[in-house]
Structure 1
């Protein structure tokens, strides 16, 4: 049912904004919460592999905490989608949950509870990824761009894709990088707690903007 949202113009716009926020979130978690990823689980799995081989310097507890929270969030997204019949409220509900959990993470960061902050962020990213996967907007997963980058290189090499696909891929790759750069800068100058406050505010704006756009389109249609 959530797939019905794909045809609405606000969805790719919201996903583009969320991609930028993913870069910010992983910058906070990796740089300030113990070298752990909360949006990109591939990194945590690789870290656990390194640690299993005896390499020092990896926080196994943090990586496992993030993975477990992420899985729980993805399961919660499935429950949310099945509990809310209408597609727009389901997506909006996921955005609201993400913002609320980011607020919890900010409180944890201010209190020095880095495991709580990492768990709340990973839980939020699990909810988001579970929801975005159901949307199935091509090239806009909001957290992982490996395949998108490969497809973009293919576009530039043989110009086989349409302009819309290439634009989505550029937005995804550039957005994640831009978010990471901004996140690293802000963590250095503001600290993790305040950066998470900024991210939470941005998530609320994305949700509000998406909702307003959908409402206006409905009234116009």
Structure 2
């Protein structure tokens, strides 16, 4: 009686196949930089990924500061919250299921939403309706993603904000309490956001809004295919 090959017995579980979530979230941080470059530089000084900055921008707009819009910023906040609600519902639905499947589903939805915004930017580049559509689609996508990232609970990788990451990087450094065992991850997160924002700004200034949004959509789509469920 023959036995199964040892290689077959040692085959990795489906949940572990693919790119580790730490790397996936770092790459999504680059995508966030791209999207906020599009929204802030191209959609009237509004953020659609970084809601901390967006609340501050809403305060500027409410005070009448020039160059800021209450309707644009309020649209971004509302759509982000709707996306987060949807992400929470998806998390509840898949809480007992494969983390890999749940992550891939959310990233696929993000890719579709951001891809839709790229299509709108290419088709109608200069209308006020386009501005609202891009704000709504990208903010909803970022809310959906943020709800998922929050439920995944991987430390120091929120993908959209860096305040606490920078705080931990400084306070737990050798000049602080010297406990910063996750410093490489934090540093990588800061670099990823910087790279995404810089690349996004260059693309917006030279090529308009469609190209960076298309790149962001393709990146999210690829990550949806290759993400695993392991940290």
TM > 0.5 between the two?
yes
Distance 2:64 2:195 in 1: 34
Q: Is the 8 A contact 2:36 2:48 kept in 1?
A: yes
Q: Is the 8 A contact 2:43 2:135 kept in 1?
A: yes
Q: Report the equivalent of 1:91.
A: 103
Q: Report the equivalent of 1:180.
A: 197
User: How is 1:63-142 mapped onto 2 (pairs within 5 angstroms)?
Assistant: 63-84=73-94, 85-86=96-97, 87-110=99-122, 111-112=124-125, 113-142=130-159
Q: Report the equivalent of 2:179.
A: 160
Whether 2:58 is the aligned partner of 1:48: answer yes
Q: Is the 8 A contact 1:23 1:178 kept in 2?
A: yes
Distance 1:57 1:148 in 2: 29
Question: For residues 49-85 of structure 1, what are the alpha-carbon distances to aligned partners after superposition, in whole Å with 9 as ceiling and x for unaligned?
Answer: 1222332321111100000000000000011112224
Q: Runs of at least 4 residues of structure 1 off by over 6 A?
A: none
Q: Which has the higher helix share?
A: 1
* Greater C-alpha Rg: 2
Alignment partner of 1:157: what SS?
coil
Alignment partner of 1:141: what SS?
coil
| Equivalent residue pairs, number | 206
- Of 143, 146, 164, the residue aligned with 2:160 is 143
Q: Is the 8 A contact 1:108 1:114 kept in 2?
A: no
Distance 2:208 2:92 in 1: 38
Report the alpha carbon displacement of residue 183 of structure 1 after superposing the two structures with TM: 0.6
Question: For residues 132-153 of structure 1, what are the alpha-carbon distances to aligned partners after superposition, in whole Å with 9 as ceiling and x for unaligned?
Answer: 0011111100000011011111
Q: Normalised by the size of structure 1, how large is the TM-score?
A: 0.87
Alignment partner of 2:175: what SS?
helix
Q: Is the 8 A contact 1:107 1:117 kept in 2?
A: no
Q: Report the equivalent of 1:171.
A: 188
Q: Report the equivalent of 2:47.
A: 37
Alignment RMSD, CA only?
Answer: 1.9
Q: Report the equivalent of 2:213.
A: 196
Q: Normalised by the size of structure 2, how large is the TM-score?
A: 0.84
Structure 1: runs of 5+ lacking an equivalent = none
